[in-house]
Structure 1
Amino acid sequence: MTVGPVEYLVVAFPGSRFTGAIAPALAEAVASKAVRILDLTFVYRGEDGTLESVELDDLDPDDLVSFEPVEGVVSGLLNSEDIRTLGESVPPGSSAALIVWEDLWAVPLTAAVRASGGQVVAHERIPAEIAEAAVAAVGPTG
């Protein structure tokens, strides 16, 4: 079975209440088959730096409604050490969603590379601020 690139994203929000505001965009990405959610974990980092994992069952039902459309296999790719390490990047007094997904759009490309005897030797993300600055420097295209 060919697997596309797997990536993770940590999205932090001030405060301790998850509003589900990113869920519609995430659900759209899943529905369009661009990605498949492999893991989804929530954490809260206290003002004192302590980290608490929040299970889906522990979230306020009003907040969970927005997450119901998100389909995918939540497989537990993030272990407790991963969650602790990623959670340390969350500012104190903030909550965060830790999302792991597979880039389904890249599966045919990955399969073609392997079928032709090739291999992926590097795959990195350019930080958003660098990419945005480079695009802004070029100006509008079209």
Structure 2
Amino acid sequence: MAVGPVEYLVIAFPGGRFTGAIAPALAEAVASKAVRIIDLTFVYRADDGAIEMVELEDLDPQELVSFEPVEGEITGMLNSDDIRKLGERVPPGSSAALIVWEDLWAVPLTEAVRASGGQLVAHERIPADVAEAAVSAAGSTR
């Protein structure tokens, strides 16, 4: 079974307030089959730096994204130590959503690469600020 790239994203919400404003965009990505959510975890980093994992049932259900859970248990990607380390990057007094997803759009490409005998040599993300600056600069020269 081919698997698309699996990525994670940590989104901090200053003041410790997750409003759910990202839920519609995430739900749209899931509904369009562009991604499959593998894990969704929330953390809160207190002003003193202490990190607390927030259970889904403790959040307002209106603010959550409905997604089909992965069949079977997927382990070995992020554990509680990983989550704690990522939580340390969240500013004190903030909450954060940690989203792990599979890029389903890439599965056909993965299958085609394998079928042709190709192999992935590198896969990196260009930092958002660098990409935005490059696109903005290109737009200003048109």
Post-superposition shift, 1:67? 1.6
Aligned residues: 139
1:123 aligns with 2:85: no
Q: Which residue matches 1:27?
A: 27
Give the aligned residue type for 1:44. Answer: Y
What's the CA shift string for 1:37-61, capped at 9, x where partnerless? 01100000000111000010122xx
Q: Which residue matches 2:37?
A: 37
Give the aligned residue type for 2:79. Answer: N
Coordinate RMSD, CA, aligned: 1.9
Post-superposition shift, 1:68? 4.5
Q: Contact 2:24–2:65 (CA<8 Å) still a contact in 1?
A: no
Higher mean C-alpha displacement, 88-97 vs 15-24 = 15-24
Secondary structure at the residue paired with 1:139? helix
Q: Contact 2:27–2:66 (CA<8 Å) still a contact in 1?
A: yes
1:132 aligns with 2:132: yes
Q: Percent identity?
A: 76
Q: Contact 2:26–2:65 (CA<8 Å) still a contact in 1?
A: no
Q: Which residue matches 2:14?
A: 14
Post-superposition shift, 1:140? 6.3
Give the aligned residue type for 1:25. Answer: A
> 1:140, 1:103 → 2: CA distance?
31
> 2:141, 2:55 → 1: CA distance?
44
Post-superposition shift, 1:75? 4.7
1:70 to 67, 71, 92: 67
Gaps of 5+ in 1: none
Gaps of 5+ in 2: none
Post-superposition shift, 1:114? 0.7
Secondary structure at the residue paired with 1:28? helix
- Cα separation, partners in 2 of 1:68 and 1:135, compared to 1, 3 Å: closer
Secondary structure at the residue paired with 2:16? coil
Runs of 4+ in 1 over 2 A off after TM superposition: 68-78
